[in-house]
Structure 1
Amino acid sequence: MDGLDEEITEAEDVAAERDELVSAVYEHAGTIARELALLKGGDYGQETFSTSNGDWTVKYEAGNLDYLRYSGKKGDIYVVSTKQPPAPDDLALAMEDYGAFVRAFNDHVASFEGILDEVDTDFPEVASTASVVEERNRLVRTIRETADAISAQLHRFNGTDYGAWKTTVSGKRWELKWEGDRASYLRVGGEGGVYLVSQYEPPSAPDVKRHAEGFRGFIEAFNEYVDELNANLSHVEL
C-alpha cells in the first residue's frame, strides 16, 4: 500500500534540542525571577515587560520561575511552564525577541537606580511608652489584687476550688474564674473579649482605660451579690 514503505523521520533530535534550549532559558530567566522577587520584596508575584514585538510575563513562586510567557502576534507562547514545553516553531519565534526582553528587564532595574538617594533618614525621635506601661502595670496589679480578693471570697463561700462568677455591667458581660484564692482570669465581653487579668500577657493600655470604670461596676455588682446572700441567709431558721 502506498505510503507504508515510506521511512518516518524521527522527532527525537528536534525535541531534544528544544528541551535543551528550554532548560537554558529556564535557568537564565530563573535568575530574572529571583531578581524580581528581591526587587519587589516578596517571594510571589509577576511582572510584564514590553518590547517592540510583544509582551513577556515573568511569574514566580517562592522566588523560583513559575512560567515565562511571550505574547506576540501569534498569541501566547509559554516558553517555560510547569505543564508542557512549547512547539519548536513557537519557541523559535519567541526566542527571536528574547534578547529584547532581557534588555527591557535590565532597563526596568536601572530605572530604580538612585531612587532612594534623596530619602531623608533623619527620622523624628520615637516617643517612649515607659510611663504609659508603668501606669498600665500599676492599674493591672490593682485589678489583679482586687480580683484575687474576690476569688478568695468566692472560694470561701462556694466551698469549691474552682469556679466562675458572672455578671453584667453596663450591658457588658464580665466573668471571673477562680482557682483557690487566686483569679485565673477576669474577662470582659464574653468569648473573644478582653482579659483584664490572665495567666498570659497583660491587657493593652487602651483596654485598661476603656474598662477601668466598668471594673468599679463589677466590684459593686459583686458586693450586691454578697449582700443579697447575707440577706437571704439571715431569714433561714434551723
Structure 2
Amino acid sequence: MAPDSAPDFDADITSTDSVAEHREELLAAVNEHAGRIARELALLQGGDYGSTTFNTDRGEWTVKYEAGALQYLRFSGKAGGDIYVVSTQRPPEPKDLVTAMKDYDAFVESYNEHVASLDGVLDDVTTDFPDVVSTETVVVERDRIVGAIRETANDIAGQLHRFEGDSYGTFARRVGGKRWELKWEDGVASYLRVGGEGGIYLVSQYSPPSARDVRTLADGFVGFVEAYNEFVDELESDLSQVTFGDN
C-alpha cells in the first residue's frame, strides 16, 4: 500500500537566528551589568571569591564571583527550578530567560537596598587603639636561654662525635616522663627535640621555640644533661674493668 503522502523536504524551515542573536545581546548586557555588581560585592566582602543571595518577591538571585569576576547569576523562582542567567555553561532557554528577566529589576533593587543598609555601619568604630606592648624583652631572654641550651647541646654533640667515632648519631633519654633526643652531625647539634615525633624542638635549624615552651622545658634540660653525664660515667666505669694480662 502506497503512503498517503511523501515528506516535503522542500518545505521552509523557520530560522532561529534572530532569537539567538537577541538572546546573545541580552545576555551580554546582563553579564556586563551583573558583573559590576559582582565586582562591588568582591570589594565589599574583601575576598577573592564568594557568593551572595538576594531575595525578591518572586524568588532569590545568587551572585557568585571569583577574583572579582562574575562566575554565575542564578535565579531561583518560588515556583521551583533554577535558571542560570549567566554561567560558564550553555545559555538559558529563551522562555527561562524571559521568566528571570521579569524579576531582574527587583534583584538590582534588592542589591541596592543591601548596600544602603550598610551606610554608616562603620561610623562608630574607633581607630584609637591601645598601645602595643613590645616583646623585645621576652625575645631577648628567650634567645639567651636557647643560646645557652644550644651551646651545651653542641658540647654534648662534640663529645658524642669524639667517642662514638661516627659522623652523625642520636642520644636519647627519658627525663620527667618525656623523651629527649639530641641528633648530632660532625660534632654539632642538629636538633634537640622533646616529646618524640611531633614534639617541641628546643634546638633546631628552623624557628626558635616559644618563650612558654622554653619556660616549661628549661628545667628538664638540666635533667637531660645529668642523664648524659651519668651515661659517660657508666662508660668510664665499664672501661675501668678492662684489663690486659696480669696487673
User: Which band: TM-score by shorter chain?
Assistant: over 0.9
In structure 2, C-alpha distance between the alignment counterparts of 1:122 and 1:73, rounded to whole Å:
48
In structure 1, C-alpha distance between the alignment counterparts of 2:191 and 2:55, rounded to whole Å:
61
In structure 2, C-alpha distance between the alignment counterparts of 1:181 and 1:6, rounded to whole Å:
95
- Number of the residue aligned with 2:217: 211
Q: Secondary structure at the match of 1:46?
A: strand
Q: Secondary structure at the match of 1:224?
A: helix
- Number of the residue aligned with 1:128: 134
Q: Among the aligned pairs, what percent are the same residue?
A: 63
- Number of the residue aligned with 2:23: 18
Establish whether residue 225 from structure 1 lines up as the match of residue 239 from structure 2: no
- Number of the residue aligned with 2:93: 87
How far apart are residue 3 of structure 1 and its match? 6.3
Q: Secondary structure at the match of 2:174?
A: strand
In structure 2, C-alpha distance between the alignment counterparts of 1:63 and 1:195, rounded to whole Å:
43
Letter in 2 for 1:164: T
Q: 1:2 to 1:73 in 2, by over 3 A?
A: farther
TM-score (norm. length: structure 1): 0.94
Consecutive unaligned residues of structure 2, counting only runs of 5 or more, are none
The number of equivalent residue pairs is 238
* Aligned equivalent of 1:172, options 178, 183, 189: 178
* Aligned equivalent of 2:188, options 175, 182, 193: 182
Q: 1:207 to 1:226 in 2, by over 3 A?
A: same
Letter in 1 for 2:61: W
Establish whether residue 150 from structure 1 lines up as the match of residue 156 from structure 2: yes
In structure 2, C-alpha distance between the alignment counterparts of 1:67 and 1:39, rounded to whole Å:
18
Runs (4 or more) in structure 1 with deviation over 4 Å come to none
Q: Secondary structure at the match of 1:114?
A: coil
- Number of the residue aligned with 1:110: 116
Segment of structure 1 superposing worse, 176-185 or 9-18:
176-185
* Aligned equivalent of 1:69, options 74, 78, 88: 74
Establish whether residue 35 from structure 1 lines up as the match of residue 40 from structure 2: yes
How far apart are residue 2 of structure 1 and its match? 6.7
Q: Secondary structure at the match of 2:160?
A: helix
In structure 2, C-alpha distance between the alignment counterparts of 1:156 and 1:229, rounded to whole Å:
14
In structure 2, C-alpha distance between the alignment counterparts of 1:60 and 1:189, rounded to whole Å:
46
- Number of the residue aligned with 2:243: 237
In structure 1, C-alpha distance between the alignment counterparts of 2:155 and 2:76, rounded to whole Å:
74
In structure 2, C-alpha distance between the alignment counterparts of 1:44 and 1:66, rounded to whole Å:
9
Segment of structure 1 superposing worse, 161-170 or 112-121:
161-170
In structure 2, C-alpha distance between the alignment counterparts of 1:98 and 1:3, rounded to whole Å:
44
Consecutive unaligned residues of structure 1, counting only runs of 5 or more, are none
Higher Rg: 2
